[in-house]
Amino acid sequence: MNEPVLAIANLGKYYGPGCERCINSTGPVAATNICPHCGTVIACHGVTFSLQKGEVLGIVGESGSGKSTVIKAIHFDIEPSMGEMYLNLTIDHSRRENGLLAIVNGKRGFPVVDGKDNIFTLTPFARRQLRNVCMGIVYQNPMLGLRMNFSAGGNVAERLLMDGWDHVGEMRQRIRSLFERTEVDTKRMDEPPSSFSGGMQQRVQIARALSTEPSLLLLDEVTTGLDVSVQARVLDLLRSLTRELNLATIVVSHDLGVINLLTTRTLVMKSGRIVESGLTNQVLEDPQHPYTQLLVSSAL
């Protein structure tokens, strides 16, 4: 079998003082993620899964189930309270031998990602390097992923710069080809995303996420709030991109249609815990957990 690209073990994120009874008095059975004794929010607890190269994994659940917490922890947007994360990637460093990144790095100390070290214990700097090079994220809210008053091209260039690109002409060419692939009108690459439609803003985010050829793509409710025809185009684009680039992808969504279309495996979360996992069509056709059954029977 393939080695997993990403492995998450026992991930937990808690907001509050915490007490001995927090874990036992929260979760899907208690139907809450707030500890009744100390008020701590158990955003997620005991989340364990792995992801292989080219695999598209769905995380489905209602608002507050902890699904976004999981990918925010993986993207180092939040500091987890507990748990481990392992990355096992082959990264081509040839481009990073020169230029800005070599200077910043001093001794070119790019973190080793051979699946042996717990990534959560690395320094913030090392994690930021990993994030820039190995991961791309697309948020539901484009305001989180884009600088609205920079140019669209500048948004992508920012990430390329952080990855050691230093030739303006080469960068523009790269951005142009990314925009062509993600169906952003290249005539508008110097305009700010604030002047773009919602669907186009998402496509700029996708171009930015893919600019450094990451191995791991994180999609947080990317089509929520877009109108149906735009949603279909964005989904279709994501579907073909994940195939073409053989990306390990995590799709967070409350929409079972999106999950069904994009993913092969699915985790179902409720009150901060994984309540069920399996092949996507099995989870949809033969849901085991009461919550998943409710979710499937509620779908339009």
What is the number of alpha carbons within 13 Å of residue 5 lying toward its C-beta?
A: 22
Taking the complex as a whole, the smallest distance from the CB of residue 297 to other proteins amounts, in Å, to 6
**Distance, CA of 183 to chain centre:** 21
> What is the Cα gyration radius of the chain?
20
Range in contact with other proteins (rule: CB under 8 A) among 6-14, 27-35, 58-66, 281-289: 281-289
Write the interaction track for other proteins spanning residues 37-76; mark x where CB under 8 A is met and - where it is not.
Answer: ---------------x--x---------------------
Structure tokens at 205: 């985010």
Name which of 67 and 265 has its Cβ closer to other proteins: 265
Residues contacting 236, CB < 8 A, separation 6+: none
Q: 141, 149, 246, 264: which one contacts other proteins (CB under 8 A)?
A: 264
Q: 167, 232, 246, 299: which one contacts other proteins (CB under 8 A)?
A: 232
Query: Taking CB under 8 A as the rule, does residue 224 contact other proteins?
Result: no
Residue 150 and residue 21: Cα distance in Å, rounded? 48
Phi, psi of 32 (to 5 degrees): -150, 160
Range in contact with other proteins (rule: CB under 8 A) among 71-79, 166-174, 247-255, 274-282: 274-282
Sheet of 56-60, strand order: 135-138, 216-220, 248-253, 56-60, 265-270, 273-279
Q: 233, 241, 245, 254: which one contacts other proteins (CB under 8 A)?
A: 233
Residue 38 and residue 15: Cα distance in Å, rounded? 11
Taking the complex as a whole, the smallest distance from the CB of residue 115 to other proteins amounts, in Å, to 16
Residues contacting 129, CB < 8 A, separation 6+: 105, 110, 111
Range in contact with other proteins (rule: CB under 8 A) among 18-26, 135-143, 248-256, 278-286: 278-286
Name which of 79 and 180 has its Cβ closer to other proteins: 180
Q: Which residues contact other proteins by CB under 8 A?
A: 1-2, 52, 55, 232-233, 235-236, 239, 243, 260-261, 264-265, 277-279, 281-282, 285-286, 288-290, 293-294, 297
